[in-house]
Amino acid sequence: MIESDRSRPGPATLGVHAGSEPPVIGGPVAPSIVRSATFFGGFGPDDPLIYGRYNNSPTHRAVGEKIAALEGAAAGLVVASGMAAISMALLAFTRAGDHVVAARHLYGATHDFLERELPRRGVEVTRVDPERPEAWRAALRPRTRVLYLEVPTNPTLRVVDPAVPAGVAEEQGAELIVDATFATPINLRVLDRGATLVVHSATKYLGGHSDLVAGAVAGSGERVEAVASLARLYGPALDPQAVWLLDRGLRTLALRMERHNASALALARWLEGRPGVLRVHHPGLESHPDHALARTLLRGGGGILSLVVEGGAGGADAFCRALRVARVAPSLGGVETLVSQPRFTSHRQLTPAEREAAGIPDGFVRISVGLEEVEDLQADLARGLEAVLALAREGKGAAG
Ligand SMILES: *Cc1c(COP(=O)(O)O)cnc(C)c1O
């Protein structure tokens, strides 16, 4: 692998070099895209079968290795989307009659997969508040095979130490699968905290440029092979071009996360307590309920911050419409700052009362802080807040 004086190279080094071929005189410095759908072999029973749908071309394998190195895992696999990684992982470790315990607040499609797809296949699911080990333990049944968690959660950025359910999973002999899309291996290596498999939407920070859809899993060789063998049947193959783009993104992951972490925290601090702002969520803020844990667990609070503006839905609409640098779009983790209102995106299926109970009242805006100059972003958010205050003044004027 990598030659370095340190016993374990750091993430910035791994992001650039892990998985790459040793240098050959006259060979290319940048990796090539191997576009071939199939590969020579098959003369005998021991020849490897390499095929595009198997996600095992040299291009796929190199990037799988890089993600494994970043996560501190023995093996890694890239697939066609984050949901492909999540669904294949959940199917690989369950069968009819089994039971899954999952955290209450999860990515929308994961929520639907747990609530609709798994039950259709005879797998029952119990949802718990993930902060308490007793909650995980109380939900166990004899056939609980998987515990499932996201860190941090979307969009209130709650942080749970995976070690909490990891102890319960180990006693039970169950898997602990953690979606670390928001954390990335730069901010938290969940396998070090006892997760047995990590899953990612590589569409977000790992790719980092909002120009590809991909997923990844990493863990022990046996577990990753269990997911890979199912993916060979269901067929979520990642196109080699997208694999190459993902590798390109990974080369700057550590650097980008440093900037995402710093800018999001700076903006969260600036926003907190400003006129027009009711609440700011970021794990780096002392007001965040998990701040103490985040300080010891995470290497950075992440690039996402959320705020609640005055004036409810109208206030959030005015805020979003006034922005000139940040753009309104779903998704996150790219170089550009994107804002969204969960009531129109991730949490549109819930009623306003259900959202309120989940800590997402109308007026809630999520910001995926990009890599622009933080001063420009701050000026942009100031424009947004000016619009929120103008709306409040109009409202008062109309009332009076
Ligand atoms: C986006 C996202 C997913 C789904 O990933 P896709 O690449 O869109 O399939 C899963 N989990 C989290 C936390 C996400 O943000």
Render pLDDT for 111-154 as a digit per residue (tens, 0 to 9).
Answer: 999 999 999 999 999 999 998 889 999 999 999 999 999 999 98
Most ligand 1 atoms within 8 A of CB, residue of 106, 112, 199, 201 to mutate: 201
Reply yes or no on whether 396 is catalytic.
no
Give the pLDDT band (50/70/90) at residue 172: very high
- Check residue 349 and give its pLDDT: 83
Reply yes or no on whether 295 is catalytic.
no
Q: Which of 54, 66, 145, 179 is catalytic?
A: 179
Asked if residue 171 has pLDDT above 70, the reply is yes
Give the pLDDT band (50/70/90) at residue 398: low
Asked if residue 397 has pLDDT above 80, the reply is no
Most ligand 1 atoms within 8 A of CB, residue of 86, 107, 113, 347 to mutate: 107
Asked if residue 2 has pLDDT above 70, the reply is no
Asked if residue 387 has pLDDT above 90, the reply is yes
- Check residue 244 and give its pLDDT: 97
Model's pTM, two decimal places? 0.95
Long-range contacts of 170-173 (CB under 8 A, 24+ apart): 170/194, 172/140, 172/144, 172/147
Output the ligand 1 site: residues, CB below 6 A. Answer: 81-83, 107, 109-110, 150, 154, 179, 181-182, 201, 203-204, 213, 215
One-letter amino acid at 73 equals A
Atom 6, ligand 1: residue with shortest CA distance: 82
Render pLDDT for 207-219 as a digit per residue (tens, 0 to 9).
Answer: 999 999 999 999 9
Secondary structure string (H, E, C) spanning 49-84: CCEHHHCCCHHHHHHHHHHHHHHCCCEEEEECCHHH
Q: Which of 53, 232, 279, 383 is catalytic?
A: 53
Ligand 1 nearest atom to the CA of residue 215, by list position: 7
Question: How far, in Å, from the CA of 157 to the mean position of ligand 1?
Answer: 15
Give the pLDDT band (50/70/90) at residue 42: confident
Range list of β-strands (E), 74-202: 75-79, 99-103, 124-128, 144-150, 175-179, 197-201
Distance, in Å, from the CA atom of 269 to the CA atom of 274, rounded to the nearest integer, reads: 10
Contact (Cβ atoms closer than 8 angstroms) between residue 60 and residue 243: yes
Most ligand 1 atoms within 8 A of CB, residue of 157, 181, 205 to mutate: 181
Give the list of residues 6+ apart from residue 98 with CB closer than 8 angstroms, or none.
Answer: 122, 123, 124, 143, 144, 145, 146
Residues pairing with 338 in the sheet? 327, 368
Question: How far, in Å, from the CA of 332 to the mean position of ligand 1?
Answer: 9
Give the list of residues 6+ apart from residue 239 with CB closer than 8 angstroms, or none.
Answer: none
- Check residue 399 and give its pLDDT: 54
Render pLDDT for 337-381 as a digit per residue (tens, 0 to 9).
Answer: 999 999 999 888 889 998 998 899 999 999 999 999 999 999 999
Token pair recorded at residue 365: 């805006």
Render pLDDT for 243-276 as a digit per residue (tens, 0 to 9).
Answer: 999 999 999 999 999 999 999 999 999 999 999 9
How confident is the prediction for the chain on average, in pLDDT?
95
Give the list of residues 6+ apart from residue 22 with CB closer than 8 angstroms, or none.
Answer: none
Question: How far, in Å, from the CA of 75 to the mean position of ligand 1?
Answer: 21
With vertex at residue 108, the alpha carbon angle to CA 105 and CA 112, rounded to the nearest 5 degrees, is 100
Q: Which of 54, 61, 98, 107 is catalytic?
A: 107
The SS3 assignment for 218 reads strand
